[in-house]
């Protein structure tokens, strides 16, 4: 393992291991004390958070290669699964407004909640809509237009499972996630869940964030220098990055017999910075190409194949 301050890193290891046990045995408590939202830090006001959800939908539309009218036609009467929606089901609300029939949101941690801030975000999302789209968005709540009444489960269902997976078969036309797959403990099981849950002509779209999420200590990507055993002890139950690189995602998709329609990097780390950390990488990362190691985030579009 790479270190520049052994005392600092030993203390970090001890603290992270202890809090990992809290996350394992008291996940709800862990979520509360860490104030997780599923969208990272540095959020703004309700309008800015609403902007984020509108951008998410634009990104999914662009990954499908559709204009706005085509996107709405595509969504019409579709059944959708979203992995890891976070504490606000904003994407689900907008997809329903644009024409989706039902959206199932599944998470590993119980993040979804009713709070004053979240209610303002839902209202900000609705206020930007008009006509039938606004009516459809308002209909997702038990009392139409009232977010405090909770979601109508016949339209938007939220569930928490130990694995964060759906466990469904041949149900969904579209499966989506954003900055979620890098947090799952078992990529093979996740991609198999995607394969099983998709309908025969279904599509799955995922944005994957391979950055350290604040776990680098001294240099970029030095979180990849912890041994696998140490890293599991510190972070396996917290939903922290699983550290797998793009090659692992490709292999998991192929093993699940999913067709990769598109795979494209969004951000990359310079090869020079990769070189500084390469001699210290944990065993699982030593035989990965420099190009694959450099990927910081990417889009992956999958299709069901028989």
State the pLDDT at residue 33: 80
Write b or e for each residue in 168-192: b if 16 or more Cβ atoms lie within 10 A of its Cβ, otherwise e.
Answer: beebbbbbbbbbbbbbbeebeebbb
Q: Can you give the residue range of the structural domain that contains 243?
A: 6-304
Average pLDDT over residues 92-105: 98
Compute the residue count for the chain: 306
Q: How far apart are CA 294 and CA 132, in angstroms?
A: 45
Residue 145 resides in a domain = yes
State the pLDDT at residue 39: 58
Residue 92 resides in a domain = yes
Residue 1 resides in a domain = no
State the pLDDT at residue 76: 97
pLDDT digits (tens, 9 = 90+) for 5-22: 999 999 999 999 999 999
For the sheet containing 79-83, what is the strand order?
156-160, 102-107, 79-83, 172-178, 198-209, 295-304, 258-268
Residue 121 resides in a domain = yes
Split into its structural domains, the chain has a count of 1
User: Are β-strands 258-268 and 295-304 bridged in parallel, bridged antiparallel, or unpaired?
Assistant: antiparallel
Residue 190 has pLDDT above 90, yes or no: yes
Q: Which of 198, 197, 205, 168 is nearest to 302 (CA)?
A: 205
State the pLDDT at residue 14: 97
CB atoms near residue 277 (< 10 Å): 21
Interacting residues of 280 by C-beta distance below 8 A, sequence separation 6+:
1, 2, 222, 225
CATH of the domain at 134: 3.40.50.150
In this structure, is the dihedral angle defined by the CA atoms of residues 45, 47, 52 and 56, taken in order, positive or negative? positive
Residue 236 resides in a domain = yes
Residue 37 has pLDDT above 70, yes or no: no
Residue 280 resides in a domain = yes
Residue 134 resides in a domain = yes
Q: Find out whether 52 and 125 touch, Cβ atoms under 8 Å.
A: no
Q: How far apart are CA 220 and CA 241, in angstroms?
A: 15
Query: Over the Cα atoms of the chain, what is R_g?
Result: 20
Output the average pLDDT for the chain. Answer: 94
Q: How far from 29 is each of 19, 32, 108, 211, 224, CA to CA, in Å?
A: 11, 5, 14, 26, 28
Residue 273 resides in a domain = yes
Residue 147 has pLDDT above 90, yes or no: yes
Average pLDDT over residues 41-61: 90
């Amino acid at each position: 393992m790479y270190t520049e301050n052994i005392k600092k890193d030993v203390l970090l290891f001890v603290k992270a291991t202890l809090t990992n046990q809290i996350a394992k045995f008291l996940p709800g408590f862990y979520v509360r004390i860490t104030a997780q939202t599923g969208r990272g830090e540095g959020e703004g006001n309700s309008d800015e958070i609403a902007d984020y959800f509108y951008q998410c939908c634009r990104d999914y539309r662009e990954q499908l290669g559709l204009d706005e009218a085509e996107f709405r036609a595509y969504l019409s009467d579709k059944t959708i699964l979203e992995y890891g929606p976070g504490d606000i089901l904003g994407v689900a609300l907008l997809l329903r407004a644009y024409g989706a029939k039902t959206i199932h949101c599944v998470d590993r941690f119980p993040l979804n909640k009713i709070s004053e801030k979240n209610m303002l975000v839902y209202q900000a999302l609705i206020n930007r809509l008009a006509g039938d789209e606004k009516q459809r968005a308002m209909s997702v709540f038990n009392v139409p237009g009232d977010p405090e009444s909770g979601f109508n489960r016949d339209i938007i269902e939220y569930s928490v499972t130990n694995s964060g997976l759906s466990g469904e078969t041949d149900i969904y036309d579209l499966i989506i996630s954003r900055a979620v797959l890098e947090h799952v403990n078992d990529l093979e099981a996740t991609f198999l869940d995607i394969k099983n849950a998709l309908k025969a002509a279904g599509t799955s779209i995922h944005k994957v964030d391979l950055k350290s999420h604040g776990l680098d200590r001294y240099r970029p990507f030095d979180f990849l220098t912890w041994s696998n055993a140490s890293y599991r002890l510190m972070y396996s139950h917290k939903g922290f990055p699983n550290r797998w690189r793009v090659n692992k995602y490709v292999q998991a998709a192929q093993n699940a017999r999913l067709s990769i329609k598109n795979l494209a990097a969004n951000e990359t780390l310079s090869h020079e910075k990769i070189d500084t950390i390469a001699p210290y990488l944990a065993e699982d990362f030593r035989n990965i190409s420099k190009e694959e190691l450099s990927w910081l985030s990417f889009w992956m579009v999958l299709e069901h194949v028989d």
